[in-house]
Amino acid sequence: MNTIQKSESQNTTLASRFALASRFALASASPVIWRRAIFTAFAGATLLAGCAGDSDTSKTGDPGTRPAVTTQYTLLPAQDCATVEKRLVEVATEQILQNKYETQYWLEDAAAGGNNANNSAPSQDRASDSPDDYTTTNNQEEGVDEADFVKTDGNYIYTLYGRDLVITKSWPAEETEEVGRITLADEGYPSALFLKGDKVAAFMGIWEDTDDGDGIWEPTDYFNGTRVAILDVSDRTAPRLERHLDIEAWMADARMIDGDVYMVSNGGFEMPFNIWDIAWDDSLNLPQEEYDANEARINELKDQARPIVKAEVERLVQGQNVLDFFPTKRILNSSGDVLASTPLYQCDELYLPQQLAQLGALNITHFDLDDKTPITTTGIVANGWQVYASEDNLYVSMSSNWWWWGWGNNRNETIIHQFNLEGAGDKPRYAASGKVDGWLLNQFSMSEYNGHLRVATTDNQWVWDETTGEGTQTGGNHLTILKNDQGELVETGSVRDLAPGEQVFSARFMGDKGYIVTFERTDPLFTFDLSDPTNPQLKGELKINGFSSYMHPMGDDHLLTIGQDATADGQVQGVHLQIFDVSDMDNPTRVQQHVLSTGSWSSWSEAMWDHHAFTYHPTKQLLAVPVNIHEWEDNNNESFSGLIVYRVDENTGFQEVGRVNHADLATRYYCKNYGATSWECMDSDYQWWTSVRRSIFIEDYLFSLSTVGMKVNDLLDPRTEHKRLMLLEEDLYR
């Protein structure tokens, strides 16, 4: 939901509304690509562990038998470190057996992004000079801020360029200028931030070599994970680093509610051995797998090897402190001195699944941006990359298309964990877990309402019949409603098997209504009545060409969407904007469509998969989206990269107000960094594509932010330019 910030004197907040994640600095890589690459790297290098916290062997299996499977998804708190050690040994054993005898499959994730708004009022000392009307981050839920690489309080814009936090004075708009800058990282790049009053939290990945030079590799020889820089920006001309918070895990996403920050991260347990070494240690005389071994034979070999492997793991772990296996948290002062380094949590703060799982350490870390309160973390033996939060609860999901566990089955399913958010110094409290069939697309696939979680999933299965030599498509798409029942997220109702063979391309839940778009050849928009969580009803279906990848509420009766147009046979063309009338849920209709280009894959927009790039002001009826167009010669050969502003009305449709591109800023950047005679500086065809990634409306001014800088234009006549600033100083491209 894009929220429009109004001054306290008006006492009005206008709300309308908001995905791997785009949580990156303006010139950095895609968040989905980044997080998947990091996940792949650490999953292959660390033990991803999990087991139940009791001694009931019926849940974990005797040494010579394979682990039993339970349908209980509630996690249990570990009673003590002995329990944790026992379970880590068991899961390490299964990991080793899998590495030796089974193939592991990495599959792609269909993640996309999302946005929400910052409702903080202007600081008291600047309120009289503040603009009355400005847009903030486009968040999914009102009151729940999402991390992004740009924030504003109306008077200033705070954004990440390269390794720097850059503060730009934005009001009065005609006096826009850079007023402050601080370098946040010597290596790597900050990717996202939060702003609350005079405090900023900036997130970045760190890869730190702490080798003591003894020539012996040890887990303590490096520190890899996420660093949070806490800054005091009360003097905007001289932002000051207060401290660093380091978490030995990779950030998936973060939320902030009234200054309470909740960061979700994924890490692993550093065992004192290399699991690959044990799997291929000839001295252990493990049975060897024949090249034509079937599943039954593989299970037989694993049963024979299990007691041997387990005994070796127990020998290597014996005498070790299990807390040394846990992820670490560190606090550093502004000079970089480590003030404290401790395990991220204690043994009794870790939750364990009731069956063996080949997953890692999922961490929900809390700190207060306003105060120097302790860092608190709840850990579970799991992974989770998709994050959704209401003001009361945070949910983290893990779909099986991220990782097929290897033993058991490879069904399409998603595990969801719920955490209660207490704030004010309390760590997030684990509440419940559950499973839904199918895979989630992104954070908009989840929504909480009146104590129930609504979930949209894709559950297509391609089944090959070896006898007939033919494949069949089964399953479809589901809408499932869950409720916490004594620690388990149980289904209260569902609508199943929608549009078999297609997949969810977008979902949106608003109050007791739900909307899902699927796509293969055409774009069915499904509408749902969710007023009775025990009996959700499919109300209407509209089939049109193309698809919507992001849906934004436009009042109570309309949806404003962005996606791709397509031909009747499903051939994708250019970006299109649409308005749907859903006042009659039984008969949704498309009342407006605007196609930006007609050639095959001739245009795209970051707003299609990252809602933070979608800026909509409902009162002004203005929409701004970044667009890249590259038409072929038979379609006017148009090339454009920049921001397009539209006036939007359900009756009159989309009228283009104007465009802004940053090609001239790109020219300045390339000439500065590559020299006046370089082809990068002289070739204008090379510079047209410089991407505009975000936009902000402050009163009647349009602020556009690209990979190299910022422009200030007239909102109602973008041809009128007031200011241009090149903000990227570092050469990131060579």
Domain ranges of the chain: 665-726
pLDDT in the model for residue 63: 41
The strand ranges marked E within 421-536 are 429-437, 446-449, 452-465, 470-485, 488-498, 503-510, 513-519, 522-529
Q: How confident is the model at residue 590 (pLDDT cuts 50, 70, 90)?
A: very high
Is residue 239's pLDDT more than 90? yes
Q: How confident is the model at residue 120 (pLDDT cuts 50, 70, 90)?
A: very low
Selected residue with higher pLDDT from 716 and 667: 716
The total of other beta-carbon atoms located within 10 Å of residue 10's CB is 10
Nearest in space to 709 (alpha carbons), one of 679, 683, 730: 730
Average pLDDT of span 568-576:
89
Helix (H) or strand (E) segment spanning residue 363: strand 361-368
Question: 171-185, 269-283, 397-411, 682-696: which has the minimum mean pLDDT?
Answer: 397-411
Q: Exposed e or buried b for every residue in 247-280, given b needs 16+ CB within 10 A? A: bbbbbbbbbbbbbbbbbbbbbbbbbebebeebbe
Is residue 112's pLDDT more than 60? no
Nearest in space to 35 (alpha carbons), one of 190, 265, 245, 194: 265
The strand ranges marked E within 126-213 are 133-138, 145-146, 150-152, 156-161, 164-169, 177-183, 190-196, 199-209
Helix (H) or strand (E) segment spanning residue 228: strand 222-232
Is residue 700's pLDDT more than 90? yes
- Distance, in Å, from the CA atom of 307 to the CA atom of 313, rounded to the nearest integer, reads 10
User: What are the tokens at 16?
Assistant: 């309308």
Tokens 């899998």 map to which residue? 98
**One-character DSSP codes across 577-639:** EEEEE-SSTTS-EEEEEEES--STT-EE-GGGT-GGG-EEETTTTEEEEEEEEE--GGGTT-E
Is residue 300's pLDDT more than 90? yes
Average pLDDT of span 586-601:
91
Residue type, 633: E
pLDDT in the model for residue 9: 39
The total of other beta-carbon atoms located within 10 Å of residue 216's CB is 8
pLDDT in the model for residue 52: 32
Strand partners, 714: 701
Average pLDDT of span 4-25:
37
Average pLDDT of span 623-644:
83
- HSE-up of 54 (CA within 13 Å, CB side)? 9
- Distance, in Å, from the CA atom of 551 to the CA atom of 338, rounded to the nearest integer, reads 45
- Distance, in Å, from the CA atom of 569 to the CA atom of 521, rounded to the nearest integer, reads 6
pLDDT in the model for residue 512: 97
Selected residue with higher pLDDT from 356 and 176: 176
Task: Output the average pLDDT for the chain.
Answer: 83
Question: 40-54, 188-202, 351-365, 647-661: which has the minimum mean pLDDT?
Answer: 40-54
Q: Are 230 and 243 contacting, i.e. CB atoms less than 8 angstroms apart?
A: yes
pLDDT in the model for residue 38: 34
Nearest in space to 152 (alpha carbons), one of 135, 133, 166, 172: 135
**One-character DSSP codes across 41-105:** HHHHHSB-----SS--HHHH--TTSPPP-------EE--SHHHHHHHHHHHHHHHHHHHHHS---
Average pLDDT of span 20-45:
34
Q: How confident is the model at residue 57 (pLDDT cuts 50, 70, 90)?
A: very low
- Distance, in Å, from the CA atom of 482 to the CA atom of 491, rounded to the nearest integer, reads 4
Q: At 43, phi and psi to the nearest 5?
A: -65, -35
Polymer length of the chain: 734
Question: 85-94, 198-207, 485-494: which has the minimum mean pLDDT?
Answer: 85-94
Q: Are 169 and 155 contacting, i.e. CB atoms less than 8 angstroms apart?
A: yes
- Distance, in Å, from the CA atom of 570 to the CA atom of 552, rounded to the nearest integer, reads 24
DSSP 8-state code for residue 326: S
pLDDT in the model for residue 70: 52
Selected residue with higher pLDDT from 149 and 291: 149
pLDDT in the model for residue 19: 33
Cis peptide, bond prior to residue 172, ω within 30 of zero: yes
Question: 69-78, 360-369, 557-566: which has the minimum mean pLDDT?
Answer: 69-78
- Distance, in Å, from the CA atom of 7 to the CA atom of 115, rounded to the nearest integer, reads 22
Selected residue with higher pLDDT from 668 and 1: 668
Model confidence pLDDT, tens digit, residues 381-408: 888 889 999 999 999 998 875 443 333 3
Q: Exposed e or buried b for every residue in 108-135, given b needs 16+ CB within 10 A? A: ebbbbbbbbbbbbebeeeeeeebbebbb
Q: How confident is the model at residue 204 (pLDDT cuts 50, 70, 90)?
A: very high
Q: What percent of the chain has pLDDT over 70?
A: 80
Cβ neighbours for 111, distance < 8 A, ≥ 6 positions apart = 19, 20, 21, 32, 385, 386, 441, 442
Model confidence pLDDT, tens digit, residues 256-283: 999 999 999 999 888 887 777 898 899 9
Q: Looking at beta carbons, which pairs linking 242-245 to residues 24 or more positions away fall under 8 Å?
A: 242/334, 243/331, 243/332, 243/333, 243/334, 243/372, 244/330, 244/331, 244/332, 244/333, 244/336, 245/329, 245/330, 245/331, 245/367, 245/375
User: What are the tokens at 693?
Assistant: 């990634």
Average pLDDT of span 288-317:
92
pLDDT in the model for residue 66: 54
Q: Are 171 and 698 contacting, i.e. CB atoms less than 8 angstroms apart?
A: yes
Strands 199-209 and 190-196, sheet pairing: antiparallel
Is residue 11's pLDDT more than 50? no
- Distance, in Å, from the CA atom of 282 to the CA atom of 276, rounded to the nearest integer, reads 12
Average pLDDT of span 213-223:
64
Is residue 682's pLDDT more than 80? no
User: What are the tokens at 592?
Assistant: 């407006």
User: What are the tokens at 82?
Assistant: 């002995």
**CA-CA-CA-CA torsion for 665, 667, 668, 673, nearest 10 degrees?**
130
Q: How confident is the model at residue 588 (pLDDT cuts 50, 70, 90)?
A: very high
Q: At 152, phi and psi to the nearest 5?
A: -145, 150
Strand partners, 542: 525
Selected residue with higher pLDDT from 17 and 273: 273
DSSP 8-state code for residue 254: E
User: What are the tokens at 720?
Assistant: 């009128």
- Distance, in Å, from the CA atom of 384 to the CA atom of 397, rounded to the nearest integer, reads 5
Highest mean pLDDT among 112-116, 410-414, 711-715 belongs to: 711-715
Q: Exposed e or buried b for every residue in 164-178, given b needs 16+ CB within 10 A? A: bbbbbbbbebeebeb
- Distance, in Å, from the CA atom of 662 to the CA atom of 666, rounded to the nearest integer, reads 6
User: Residue 68, class by beta-carbon neighbours within 10 Å (0-12 exposed, 13-18 middle, 19+ buried)?
Assistant: middle
Question: 84-93, 122-131, 236-245, 511-520: which has the minimum mean pLDDT?
Answer: 122-131
User: What are the tokens at 531?
Assistant: 């007023």
